[in-house]
Structure formats: structure tokens, C-alpha cells
Amino acid sequence: MQKIKAFIESEKGKDILIVIIVILVGLSSFELGRLSKGGESSGITIEYTDQAGNQSASVISALEHSNILQNDKMSKNNNSTSAGKNFFASSKGSKYYSLGCSAGKSLKQENRIYFATKEEAEKAGYELSSSCR
């Protein structure tokens, strides 16, 4: 017993004891974490009755339908305004862009003015954007 007591009181013994304590604390923390995760619970589950499930599906269906109608309406408006037109400009700016130019894609549809030719756009006071040259 005295040999063990003398070893623990020495500097080398204290260092070994600290290392053993750190290892035991680490292992016990790891095991406690595994034990807390071991349950079969996968979180909160929301279950709907048949009536509520059907109602939410019909609401989603109605929203999708209105979005499709709105997108169709917008595409028809865009096609009717830009039919036969090769250039467009912002009603609030001074540059015009070709339909294939990516620089003008950020312009809102409601602010766009369409032109058939470059001359028509320049006659209206617009100049070609340097990004579209």
C-alpha cells in the first residue's frame, strides 16, 4: 500500500492519474451520448385525419392551379408585347438591349419597351448597352 501511495504522490504518478481521469471522463461522456440517442424516437410526427389530409391536398391543388393560370397569363402578355420585336429598353433608363442579351434580363417586364429595329430604339433616344455589343 505504501508503494502505491508513494507512486501516486510522486510527479509521475500524478501525471498518470490525470491522464486516466481524462480518458475515463471522455469514455463516459461518449457512452452517455450513445445512450441518449439509442431510443427509437425520430422526432415529432404530424398525422392528419382523412378529412384534414384531403382538405390540405385540395388547397395545395387550388394554389398550384392559380399559379399555373397566372404564369400562362404572364407569358401571353409577354408574347403579345414582344411579338416581332427584337430589342427592348427600360422605360426608366437610357440603354436598349437585344432579346438575346443577358444584361437586360434583370429589367422588370412592366418597365420594358419593345422595338422592332435598332433605328427605332435610337430614334426614341436610347443607345445600345455596352454589354450587348
**Of the listed ranges 2-11, 32-41, 65-74, 81-90, the one predicted with least confidence:** 65-74
E-strand stretches of the chain: 87-90, 95-98, 112-115, 127-128
pTM here is 0.39
Residues 75-96 as b or e (16 or more Cβ within 10 Å = b): eeeeeeeeeebebbbbeeeebb
Q: pLDDT for 67-101, tens place per residue? A: 555 554 444 444 445 567 788 898 888 999 988 88
112-115 and 87-90 beta bridge pairing = antiparallel
The rounded mean pLDDT for the chain is 77
